[in-house]
């Protein structure tokens, strides 16, 4: 009786994990002659490649050199839907899967804060039907993903003019924040009805009122004081910001906080952005030299 030899590779240069040997036994086509021969369908094996790619990226990461805070501008849902001949809402619904994958990936490698630009103040100018669908999708997603957040020890938080959200959306958000408040592995921060110019304007108003009431002097105002009165006061500034869809701008997102942030622009639309894409982006961050005004020699 001929014995199937151990398979070493699934394609040139791509190592096959030993754990897949059982799986492969069902997709070998073989015939018995004087010599044993076998053939593997690469089409069937193709789904294995992303898993192996993801493993390679994780192995390449320097876990001691991770950003504490990653911010993402999730762009391209509408264009992705149009590319597939579907309405824009279809893109937003598929973007939820990318949120889930990236959130789990960030928590898995030890990112402490992940901020997602979910809805800007400018987004209210979109067609009412799309805005209504987005708000409904947010409610649905918070309810559906509650177990996932708790199982992964992820705390939900939010920044923006939250009280101006539709009542049902606001209530669902507060419920999600309350039910995950004791989780400690990672903070998932949703920027909702958020605008950096709004945030800075509110900060100026608050500090100006403190000056008017003689609680502080103008000379007391510092960079750290301004940061303390921003919506993001509870977390450090992002070291790394990712934007999908090929656009290269901040779009009124974390303007003050991004003074020394590393930017990463990806051509993939948000619904196409997967775990391995996130790991690849983090690897790019780790390969950069962050000088903060110093020379390279000073960092040695």
DSSP string, 19-52: GGHHHHHTSEEEEESSSEEEEE-HHHHTTHHHHH
Residue 13 is predicted with a pLDDT of 39
Domain match, 17 and 76 both: no
Active site residue 75: yes
245-298 pLDDT tens trace: 999 999 999 999 999 999 999 999 999 999 999 999 999 999 998 876 776 666
Residues 229 and 88 in one domain: yes
pLDDT, tens only, 26-69: 433 334 444 444 343 334 444 444 554 555 667 789 989 999 99
Judge if 111 and 221 occupy the same domain: yes
pTM: 0.80
CATH code of the domain containing 181: 3.40.1180.10
258 and 184 part of one domain: yes
Higher pLDDT, 8 or 95: 95
Measured between alpha carbons, how far is 31 from 54 in angstroms, rounded to an integer?
34
Which residues span the domain enclosing 119? Answer: 47-287
2: in domain: no
Average pLDDT, the chain: 86
Catalytic, out of 59, 60, 75, 214: 75
In this structure, are residues 132 and 162 in contact, taking their beta carbons and an 8 Å threshold? no
Which of the residue ranges 30-39, 121-130, 183-192, 199-208 would you say has the lowest mean pLDDT?
Answer: 30-39
Q: Is position 244 within any domain? A: yes
126 and 201 together in one domain: yes
Shared-domain flag, residues 34 and 75: no
Catalytic residue among 56, 59, 94, 123: 123
For residues 132-147, average pLDDT: 96
Q: What is the pLDDT of residue 189?
A: 98
The reply to whether 153 belongs to the active site is no
Q: Is residue 293 a part of any domain in this protein?
A: no
Q: How many domains does the chain have?
A: 2
186 with 55, same domain: the answer is yes
In-domain check, residue 299: no
In a domain, 298, yes or no: no
């Amino acid at each position: 009786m001929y014995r199937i030899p151990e398979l070493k590779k699934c394609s040139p240069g791509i190592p096959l994990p030993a754990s897949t040997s059982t799986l492969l036994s069902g997709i070998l086509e073989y015939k018995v002659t004087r010599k044993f021969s076998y053939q593997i369908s690469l089409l069937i094996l193709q789904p294995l490649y992303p898993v192996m790619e993801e493993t390679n990226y994780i192995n390449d990461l320097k876990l001691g050199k991770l950003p504490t805070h990653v911010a993402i501008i999730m762009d391209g849902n509408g264009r992705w839907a149009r590319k597939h001949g579907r309405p824009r809402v279809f893109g937003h619904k598929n973007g939820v899967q990318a949120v889930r994958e990236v959130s789990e990936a960030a928590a898995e490698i030890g990112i402490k804060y992940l901020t997602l630009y979910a809805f800007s103040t400018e987004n209210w100018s979109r067609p009412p039907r799309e805005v209504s669908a987005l708000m409904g999708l947010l409610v649905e997603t918070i309810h559906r993903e509650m177990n996932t957040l708790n199982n992964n020890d992820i705390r939900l938080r939010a920044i923006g003019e939250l009280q101006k959200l539709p009542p049902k959306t606001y209530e669902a958000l507060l419920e999600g924040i309350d039910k995950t408040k004791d989780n400690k592995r990672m903070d998932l921060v949703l920027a909702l009805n958020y605008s950096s110019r709004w945030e800075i304007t509110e900060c100026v108003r608050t500090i100006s009122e403190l000056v008017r009431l003689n609680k502080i002097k103008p000379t007391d105002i510092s960079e750290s004081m301004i940061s303390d009165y921003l919506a993001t006061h509870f977390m450090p500034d992002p070291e790394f910001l990712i934007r999908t869809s090929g656009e290269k701008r901040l779009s009124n997102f974390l303007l003050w906080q991004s003074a020394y942030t590393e930017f990463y622009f990806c051509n993939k639309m948000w619904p196409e952005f997967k775990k391995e894409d996130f790991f690849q982006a983090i690897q790019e961050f780790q390969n950069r030299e962050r000088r903060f005004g110093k020379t390279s020699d000073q960092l040695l």
